[in-house]
């Protein structure tokens, strides 16, 4: 929400409102993914994981607003649905790729640290996909330039995080009933997803 509120107050000529956040987040994701398999200290791994999560949210969250900004209103539900479809497809392909890597003999050899080469390959492919997919959007999809009045209103707003937090508070307070209903569904959905993510690695390791 913070990144979304800040992007509402942003306009950079040549880049736009949402695309600067896509680009910054994707660069952060790619760097974290590239360095991750080379980490030898737990605290560095934890730090990189936090930075990866922050970068991923910075890149991905404004995409929802980007769809609302660029897609005609009658097509927005389809746009949001397609975003979810491709997110799910990406996760599915990532899971399948692990089985594919295990079938390639030389990828199953290990480094001096005992890490299989397919682990390095997974992170490197993730880094390339992260920056590559965002660059496709940044370079191919322009944003609608605000009118002079809208630009003046953006410049009049404070772009700081404190003002963005206040805006989020008012948005939640004035949220219409359908969004409150949707929020309650997401509350349970995300609870279930986090439980799944916490235990899936242990489950896979044991089986």
CA torsion sign, 138 to 141 to 145 to 151?
Answer: negative
Contact 28/55 with Cβ under 8 angstroms? yes
Domain range annotation of the chain: 2-159
Q: What is the structure's pLDDT at 28?
A: 94
User: Coil, strand, or helix at residue 85?
Assistant: helix
Residue 44 to residue 49: CA distance in whole angstroms: 8
Instruction: Give tens-digit pLDDT for 106-150.
Output: 777 777 777 778 888 888 988 998 899 889 988 898 888 888 888
Q: Does domain 2-159 have CATH number 1.20.1250.20?
A: yes
Burial class of residue 70 (count of CB atoms within 10 Å of its CB; 0-12, 13-18, 19+): middle
Q: What is the pTM of this model?
A: 0.75
Position 11 scores a pLDDT of: 86
How far is the first Cα of the chain from the last one, in angstroms, to the nearest whole number? 38
Query: What pLDDT, on a 0 to 100 scale, did the predictor assign at position 203?
Result: 85
Whole-number Å distance between alpha carbons of 28 and 36: 12
The owner of tokens 């089986």 is 207
List the structure tokens of 88: 């799910």
- CB–CB of 9/159 below 8 Å? yes
Q: What angle do CA 41, 46, 49 make, to 5 degrees?
A: 125
pLDDT at residue 188 is higher than 80: yes
> Average pLDDT, whole number, for the chain?
85
pLDDT, residue 27, reads 93
SS3 content of the chain, % helix, strand, coil (to 5): 80, 0, 20
- Cβ pair 29, 55 in contact under 8 A: yes
> Are residues 51 and 32 in contact, defined by beta-carbon separation less than 8 angstroms?
yes
**49 pLDDT above the threshold of 80:** yes
């Amino acid at each position: 929400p913070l990144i979304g509120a800040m992007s509402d107050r942003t306009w950079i000529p040549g880049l736009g409102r949402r695309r600067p956040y896509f680009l910054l987040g994707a660069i952060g994701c790619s760097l974290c993914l590239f360095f991750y398999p080379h980490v030898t200290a737990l605290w560095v791994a934890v730090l990189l994981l936090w930075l990866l999560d922050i970068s991923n949210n910075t890149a991905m969250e404004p995409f929802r607003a980007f769809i609302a900004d660029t897609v005609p209103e009658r097509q927005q539900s389809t746009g949001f649905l397609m975003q979810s479809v491709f997110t799910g497809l990406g996760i599915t392909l990532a899971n399948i790729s692990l089985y594919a890597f295990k079938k390639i003999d030389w990828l199953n050899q290990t480094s001096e640290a005992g890490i299989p080469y397919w682990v390095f390959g997974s992170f490197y492919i993730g880094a390339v996909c992260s920056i590559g997919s965002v660059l496709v959007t940044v370079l191919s999809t322009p944003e609608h330039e605000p009118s002079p009045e809208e630009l003046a209103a953006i410049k009049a707003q404070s772009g700081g995080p404190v003002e963005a937090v206040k805006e989020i508070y008012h948005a939640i307070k004035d949220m219409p009933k359908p969004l409150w209903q949707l929020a309650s569904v997401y509350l349970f959905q995300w609870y279930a997803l986090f439980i799944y993510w916490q235990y899936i690695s242990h489950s896979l390791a044991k089986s």
